[in-house]
């Protein structure tokens, strides 16, 4: 029996589990297709005493939704699933990677969040979702749901660079990870920075599209240059930006590049990479430029996590493949109102950032509670998430710039854009010092909201 690509994704890593069954179901066109599902006992969570919401993904979005559903209605049963044993944030991770803050600043306990939020946490890997029977399959067992929330975040899309070469993609992921999926990539980046020496050339790429954490690559470039400067390392940071200009806080970052790091940072906008030789550590651009480097964080374009494809709720878009196919005003999957998608997997042009996911999560939680109460969600329920983001540009003393923005929908363009946006980009005075203090307070406030 031939196994489809979708089935192959589902069953990778599960070959050791022998007990399987075969079922036949109809696809959207009425054709039959074979699928395999592993027969496991129910997952080790208490039986639901009321309506159950299962949340897949324990990032800022999933954690917020779990907590605020229970805060709104304690009778709703909530199970949060994540494959990681501990939480590590992407926000503030650049300060950890460059040694300014300790690792435990961004590392937190899922179980603490579950205890304080009065929901269940299941450490497990989701490998299949049956939306007909409303069942989630994990390596720890299966769960029934009344409402499912998919908040699995992003994955990298190396196709523009690899052109289908899996060996090249694997080498790039292993040797030069982008550093925007927290965990091992954060530790790898920290090690790379700590091993910088004289004459080191560190390349930081900036992808096109609505990538995760718009200011992140520019902040990281500043902080790596700052690390070189503080430690008297004669090196270079080369920023290869696919975009024609710095995508956010442009005045603040450009000023820092020019005034603080003119001997360290080379910024190259509108740079399209045509090939990467990871073994000889050389990048070639479409203009024929050859850039040799000693180390790099090669941040590719992004796509929605492949779990969305497994669940059959993804759509393709120009830049970011596989984002969730949802009603942008209610967060419900088109054709299946029992499934909500949130966080960085959603297709709206909101910032893919921890703070945005946190404020958005409260809106999604309120929508779910209304839906379980029998309300019909519509555009009238939509509220704008809020993006508040601090970016460090210097470490000693700690100075930061910031942005504060809401969003609005343009009916003519049929898209979302910034509304009531403001920035603080003067880093070289009292405002920058206040921004540095505000950055740490902002981070601690997010952690309190997610876990306390």
Answer whether residue 101 is part of any domain: yes
Residues 237 and 353 in one domain: no
Residues 61 and 179 in one domain: no
Residues 172 and 243 in one domain: yes
Return the H-helix or E-strand segment holding 371: helix 354-372
* pLDDT tens profile 274-329: 999 999 999 999 999 999 999 999 999 999 999 999 999 998 755 556 899 999 99
**Cβ atoms of residues 421 and 404 within 8 Å:** yes
Residues 66 and 151 in one domain: yes
Checking if the pLDDT of 215 tops 60, the result is yes
Answer whether residue 63 is part of any domain: yes
* pLDDT tens profile 356-405: 999 999 999 999 999 999 999 999 999 999 999 999 999 999 999 999 99
Answer whether residue 276 is part of any domain: yes
Residues 294 and 162 in one domain: yes
Q: Which residues of 278-312 are buried (b: 16+ CB within 10 A; e: fewer)?
A: beebebebeeeeebebbbbbbbbbbbbbbbbbbbb
Integer angstrom CA distances of residue 340 from 54, 111, 328: 10, 24, 10
Residues 170 and 252 in one domain: yes
* pLDDT tens profile 167-214: 999 999 999 999 999 999 999 999 999 999 999 999 999 999 899 999
Answer whether residue 144 is part of any domain: yes
pLDDT of residue 4: 44
Residues 248 and 320 in one domain: no
Alpha carbon of residue 181 to chain centroid = 6
Burial of 16 by CB count in 10 Å (0-12 exposed, 13-18 middle, 19+ buried)? exposed
CATH number of the domain where residue 279 is located: 3.50.50.60
Residues 130 and 162 in one domain: no
Residues 71 and 11 in one domain: no
Answer whether residue 407 is part of any domain: no
Residues 294 and 329 in one domain: no
Answer whether residue 202 is part of any domain: yes
Q: Which residues of 439-452 are buried (b: 16+ CB within 10 A; e: fewer)?
A: bbebbeebbebbbe
Strands of the sheet with 290-292, listed across from one edge: 273-277, 282-285, 290-292
| 415 backbone dihedrals φ, ψ, rounded to 5° | -155, 165
**Statement: the pTM of the whole predicted model exceeds 0.85:** yes
Residues 244 and 290 in one domain: yes
pLDDT of residue 5: 40
Answer whether residue 448 is part of any domain: no
Return the H-helix or E-strand segment holding 355: helix 354-372
Answer whether residue 192 is part of any domain: yes
Domain of residue 134, residue span: 52-155+303-381
Tell me which of 365, 381, 397 is where a domain ends: 381
Per the structure, the count of domains in the chain is 3
pLDDT of residue 38: 57
pLDDT of residue 315: 86
pLDDT of residue 145: 98
Using alpha carbons only, what angle is made at residue 345 by residues 400 and 108, rounded to the nearest 5 degrees? 55
Residues 117 and 208 in one domain: no
């Amino acid at each position: 029996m031939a196994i489809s690509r979708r089935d192959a994704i589902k069953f990778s890593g599960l070959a050791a589990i022998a007990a399987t069954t075969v079922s036949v179901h109809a696809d959207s066109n009425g054709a039959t297709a074979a699928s395999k599902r592993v027969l496991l006992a129910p997952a080790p969570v208490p039986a639901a005493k009321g309506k159950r919401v299962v949340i897949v993904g324990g990032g800022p979005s999933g954690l917020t939704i779990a907590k605020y559903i229970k805060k709104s209605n304690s009778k709703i049963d909530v199970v949060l699933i994540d494959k990681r044993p501990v939480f590590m944030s992407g926000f503030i991770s650049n300060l950890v990677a460059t040694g300014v803050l300790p690792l435990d600043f961004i590392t937190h306990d899922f179980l603490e969040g579950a205890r304080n939020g009065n929901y269940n946490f299941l450490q497990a890997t989701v490998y299949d979702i049956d939306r007909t029977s409303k069942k989630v399959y994990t390596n720890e067992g299966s769960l029934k749901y009344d409402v499912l929330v998919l908040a699995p975040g992003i994955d990298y899309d190396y196709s523009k660079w690899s052109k289908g070469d899996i060996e090249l993609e694997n080498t790039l992921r292993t040797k030069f990870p982008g550093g925007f999926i927290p965990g091992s990539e954060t530790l790898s980046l920290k090690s790379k920075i700590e091993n910088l020496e004289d004459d080191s050339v560190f390349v930081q790429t900036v992808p096109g599209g609505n990538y995760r954490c718009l200011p992140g690559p520019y902040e990281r470039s500043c902080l790596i240059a700052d690390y070189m400067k503080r430690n008297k390392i004669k090196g270079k940071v080369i920023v290869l930006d696919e975009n024609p200009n710095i995508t956010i806080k442009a005045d603040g970052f450009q000023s820092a590049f020019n005034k603080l790091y003119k001997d360290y940072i080379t910024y190259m906008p509108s740079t399209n990479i045509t090939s990467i030789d990871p073994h000889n550590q050389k990048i070639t651009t479409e203009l024929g430029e050859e850039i040799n480097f000693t180390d790099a964080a090669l941040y590719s374009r992004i796509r929605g996590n492949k779990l969305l494809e497994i669940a059959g709720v993804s759509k393709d878009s120009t830049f970011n493949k596989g984002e969730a196919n949802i009603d942008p005003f209610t967060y419900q999957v088109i054709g299946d109102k029992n499934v909500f998608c949130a966080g960085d997997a959603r297709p709206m042009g909101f910032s893919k950032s921890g703070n945005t996911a946190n404020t958005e999560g409260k809106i999604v939680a309120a929508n779910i509670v209304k839906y379980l109460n029998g309300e019909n969600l519509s555009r009238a329920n939509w509220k704008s998430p809020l993006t508040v983001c601090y970016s460090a540009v210097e470490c000693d003393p700690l100075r930061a710039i910031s942005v504060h923005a809401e969003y609005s929908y343009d009916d003519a363009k049929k898209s979302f854009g910034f509304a009531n946006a403001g920035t603080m980009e003067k880093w070289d005075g009292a405002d920058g010092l206040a921004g540095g203090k505000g950055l740490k307070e902002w981070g601690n406030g997010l952690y309190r909201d997610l876990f306390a």
